[in-house]
Amino acid sequence: MTNDSSGIRHWLLRDLPYAAMLALAVGGLVLTSFRGPTTHYYWMALAPAYGLIAIVSGWRHVDTGAARMQLVLTQALHWFAFVGAMWLMFLPQVRGIDSDNATSLTLLILLALGTFVAGVHARVWRICVVGVFLAAAVPAVAWIQESAMLLLVSVLLLVAVGGVFWWLWRREGGRA
Q: What is the mean pLDDT of residues 98-105?
A: 72
- 22-35 pLDDT, tens per residue? 888 888 777 766 66
What are the CA-CA distances from residue 155 to residues 54, 148, 158, 166 (Å)? 41, 11, 5, 16
Query: Who has greater pLDDT, 165 or 56?
Result: 56
pLDDT bin (cut points 50, 70, 90) of residue 67 is: very high
C-alpha distances in Å from residue 60, one per residue of 55, 57, 96, 155: 9, 7, 44, 49
If you average pLDDT over every residue of the chain, what do you get?
81
The answer on pLDDT for 86 being more than 80 is yes
Distances (CA, A) of 26 to 5, 115, 130, 169: 28, 14, 12, 42
* pLDDT tens digits along 127-169: 999 999 889 888 887 777 677 667 777 778 888 887 877 787 7
Cα separation of 56 and 17, whole Å? 10
Distance (Å, whole) CA 46 – CA 128: 17
For residues 103-124, give the mean pLDDT. Answer: 89
Give domain limits for the chain: 3-147
Terminal C-alpha separation, the chain: 59
The pLDDT score that the predictor gives to residue 40 is: 73
Evaluate if residue 80 carries a pLDDT over 80. yes
DSSP of 11-42 = HHHHHHHHHHHHHHHHHHHHHHHHHGGGGHHH
Q: Interhelix angle for 125-175 vs 100-122, to 10°?
A: 140
Q: How far is CA 37 from CA 25, 90, 99, in A?
A: 16, 7, 10
Q: How far apart are CA 134 and CA 25, in angstroms?
A: 8
